[in-house]
Each structure stands twice: as structure tokens, then as C-alpha cells.
């Protein structure tokens, strides 16, 4: 199990954190955030970063983009994103 997150994945996690700040009231940004996090999850699993992959999975479990409504769990997901 790798404990070091590869630099390219770290960069994308930072991008996702910034994107999430705008995603809570913008459906398209929310979908973009969800897709980016899904991609990051697969890359983390491939890199053997299981602990971080588990954290990303918990975010994805809460992330459910819905068109025409604000994210009900934006604050919760935002707090999880800050831990990265």
C-alpha cells in the first residue's frame, strides 16, 4: 500500500477542491466534480493509495448531482475536501 500520493493526483485533488467550492449551486460544475473525483478514485486505487481512495469513495457516496436543486450535502463534502 502506497502512502505517497503521486503529484499528478495531488494536483487533481486540489483542482477538485476548488471546483467543489463552485459546484454546490451549479449543476454542471457538480457533475464535473463528480466525474473528476471518480477518475481520481480509480487512479488512487491503481497507485495503491488505499486510505486516500477510501476518503474519496466516502465523498462520492455523498455526492449525488441533481439538476435544478442545490447540493444538500455541500457543506459536509466541503469539510471532507479540506482534509486533503
Residue 60 domain flag: yes
pLDDT of residue 80: 81
Q: What is the pLDDT of residues 1-40, one digit of tens each?
A: 557 899 999 999 999 999 888 876 788 888 899 999 999 9
Q: Containing domain of residue 44, as a range?
A: 7-82
Which three cell numbers mark 84? 486533503
Residue 16 domain flag: yes
pLDDT of residue 70: 67
Q: What is the pLDDT of residues 46-60, one digit of tens each?
A: 999 999 999 999 999
Question: For residue 22, what are the contacts with CB-CB under 8 A and spacing of at least 6?
Answer: 29
pLDDT of residue 16: 93
Question: How far is the C-alpha of 76 from the C-alpha of 63, rounded, in Å?
Answer: 10
Residue 20 domain flag: yes
Number of domains in the chain: 1
Residue 1 domain flag: no
Amino acid at each position: 500500500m502506497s502512502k505517497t500520493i503521486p503529484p499528478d493526483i495531488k494536483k487533481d485533488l486540489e483542482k477538485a477542491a476548488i471546483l467543489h467550492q463552485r459546484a454546490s449551486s451549479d449543476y454542471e460544475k457538480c457533475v464535473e466534480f463528480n466525474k473528476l473525483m471518480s477518475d481520481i478514485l480509480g487512479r488512487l486505487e491503481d497507485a495503491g493509495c488505499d486510505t486516500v481512495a477510501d476518503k474519496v469513495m466516502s465523498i462520492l457516496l455523498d455526492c449525488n448531482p441533481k439538476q435544478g436543486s442545490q447540493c444538500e450535502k455541500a457543506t459536509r463534502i466541503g469539510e471532507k475536501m479540506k482534509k486533503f
